[in-house]
Chain A
């Protein structure tokens, strides 16, 4: 009997799933492993591959063991297969099988649906590493560079998690899908990543922070709903991934917060009270608050699109089958079947944005998106506190869900951030005030300079309040390899 808590290092692949006694899967993963290492090595610039990065590695899935910090070269990072401990007697939490014992194997009738969900989730993990591959070159500090690499190696581990499920439970199809996860590539013409938002480059650090705040939060919500899956290995995998995903939320929220803090500080130091005095503010080398609002508008709305159509039969099927639950399903107090319930969604009827009751089952996506919006609003509130504390009259807002949408009921219409329907001419006139322009992008790009002295930060961002792993301010989070 293998140890289900501590990570075993007796195979090339650290794991707590007893790989050493599961020869078939071990062999398949070992065959997949070199391709993964090649993918990683081709991706991140060599200088950073050779650097020592202060990373956390899980040595156990017990709370005390999953955050062990040490210097490691990224290609030597111990990517592994880690599942949260099995809960004795766990039952399927939702849908028509609610209350039956959770599945330890994939039920044949749901095999394809399940495989597709795992492949879509798996595809996003390497995609974000690809999107962020050049950011280290303009890291505003060693602290931020370390955080970027931590996000990257953990996205890599999340790919491992999904590949394990594919190899273990989906036979030859699964192996082919796992190979395809390395074949597709973000932004590629021939073989792009599956979801649109994961084919855009992450061009600068503010975009990275916005991405980790808004887009990784979609990932978090998807993981939350998969953690409720009746397929127990998927649930356990996602539960452990969520503990890692929390770090990505942290990088996003504090990154944007520190950017705002620095802007407010420089405005105050220079006697600027008007947040719209953008030329003067930009001349001081910090990012004006209206531009931060525009970046927020863009990343939030791109992320909303990731939730799919407001009314979806696929989502209904996945819930009904017990494959995917709702956010915190176990805390919801209803019959967990939703057969006769309704849910209010946005719709567009007779030229009007309206709220409409639809069968709750078909509104599963919308419900998760609403939970997402609530979750995302919390951080925006914190950012506003920073602005308020500095005494600047400005408030960041999440735009209306109709704004800038490419998927769903609003996708073929034009709206302003308040959700007012606009003519093409009005939209064109307003757009540059709502979404980042190329000129805005160029300005942000002009601030992106690498800072590699321990404890120093680029001029556009404030230092963090506390270090990683309680380290002091001038801690050398990355020992850069000399070229």
Chain B
């Protein structure tokens, strides 16, 4: 089988044939007849120049195809065909999380723990992906770098704020961006970007500023994490993305969220929570956060989190290295609250998110299996249903 291809298309029902995209396209991949404006798959280089200039929103359409739609196919359309079901191929090939292969592969690996192809929540906002690429990155200015963990801890987690100035950077909560570490590898090639989850909400770390925040842990040998953790205000950083089209926040205010994380896995949930707080601050009883760390002083955002009212977000902290206390992991907290968790697993409004180190997956799965069995449900079937419904999301690394 030939490798599936990500094809850029224009929705003919929404396009008004103003040809602004056609005039903007630097490689003349866009053309038209009397009815439709179409994209030549053999010429489009995914530069995204046409996306912001479209007055209608019809241009931001993508399909994964085994054979690209020809110009004649597209000229004949009255409406856009639905995405075909592609049986073969993993998420990296058949998903639209990222348009470039390396980033798609990274995300597919991070999502593997969900046990099948990830799907976005039905009411999530439409994400923009790949606006900036390795060949055409955005330049962000560092406006803040704060240590989140206690000074004495050997665990150095940083809150980094990047400002994009006049460059649009439309990120949704749960999406990631790529940071390109400067320099070259041993073979003299530029380094590939490293992915970091955005930890701020869509309207910015500070509302209506074109900025965002990242939560980055310094890894002893980490090329990029050391680069990022050492950044100083005023430094410039090359950024790609945004990436990710499934690990997203539902827009439905009735949606209930069960968020389970360890360490810097809290980044997307900080974004989720802030979004909810800014948009619907009086919407209580919908959020549950289960957050694991070794000690309170190593738990990123522990201070601000404690200030979030309990009725807005129910918070469960699991500490594994507290002096004189037994070791607690996130799965233990899930079991402690089995009634609440069981109710969530059975609610059609509930969305489960797991984010953190790969090692946490197994324990969490087992806890879910036990809790499900306790109410007479088969976890594997339930998980698949939730995932296909866009309500079960895993991002681990």
A residues whose Cβ falls under 8 Å from a Cβ of B: 6-7, 59-60, 63-68, 70-71, 242-243, 245-247, 249-250, 253-254, 374-375, 377-379, 381, 385, 465-472
Contact = CB atoms under 8 A, between A and B. Distances in A.
A201 B125 CA distance: 39
Q: How large is the interface on B (under 10, 10 to 19, 20 to 34, 35 or more residues)?
A: 20 to 34
B166 interface: yes
Interface in B8-40: 13-14, 16-18, 20, 23-24, 34-35
B311 interface: no
A67 B59 CA distance: 14
B166 A65 contact: yes
Nearest to B210: A68
Interface in B206-246: 208
A385 B35 CA distance: 11
Contacts, number: 78
Contact of B20 (A242, A375, A467, A468): A242
Contact of A60 (B18, B56, B166): B166
B168 A250 contact: no
Contacts of B166: 6-7, 59-60, 65, 68
Contacts of A249: 16, 18, 55
Contact of A63 (B13, B24, B57, B123): B24
Given A63-B52, A64-B49, A242-B20, A466 B57 contact: yes
B126 interface: yes
B337 to A, nearest CB: 32
B contact face: mostly helix, strand, loop, or mixed = loop
Contacts of B52: 63-67
Contacts of A64: 48-49, 52, 131, 167-168
B200 to A, nearest CB: 17
B366 interface: no
7 contacts: A66-B53, A243-B24, A245-B18, A254-B56, A470-B60, A470-B126, A472-B251
A246 B34 contact: no
B16 A243 contact: no
Contacts of A66: 52-53
B78 interface: yes
A63 B53 contact: yes
A470 B251 contact: no
B13 A378 contact: no
Nearest to A68: B168
Contacts of B23: 242
Smallest CB-CB A-B distances: 5 pairs: A246-B18, A247-B55, A63-B49, A59-B166, A250-B55
B50 interface: yes
A374 B52 CA distance: 26
Given A6-B166, A242-B20, A470 B34 contact: no
Nearest to B132: A64
Interface in B46-89: 48-50, 52-53, 55-58, 60, 78
A249 B208 CA distance: 29
B48 to A, nearest CB: 8
Contact of A465 (B14, B53, B131, B168): B14
A65 B251 contact: no
Contact of B56 (A7, A242, A250, A374): A250
Given A70-B208, A246-B20, A465-B13, A63 B35 contact: no
Contacts of A469: 57
A209 to B, nearest CB: 12
A60 B129 CA distance: 21
A381 B36 CA distance: 11
A375 B35 CA distance: 10
Contacts of A70: 208
Nearest to B17: A378
B208 A385 contact: no
A118 B373 CA distance: 77
Interface string B162-179: 000011100000000000
A67 B168 contact: yes
A378 B34 CA distance: 7
Most chain A C-beta atoms within 10 Å of own C-beta, residue among B16, B20, B60:
B16
Contacts of A243: 20, 24, 53
A470 B53 contact: no
A243 B56 CA distance: 12
Contact of B168 (A6, A65, A381, A471): A65
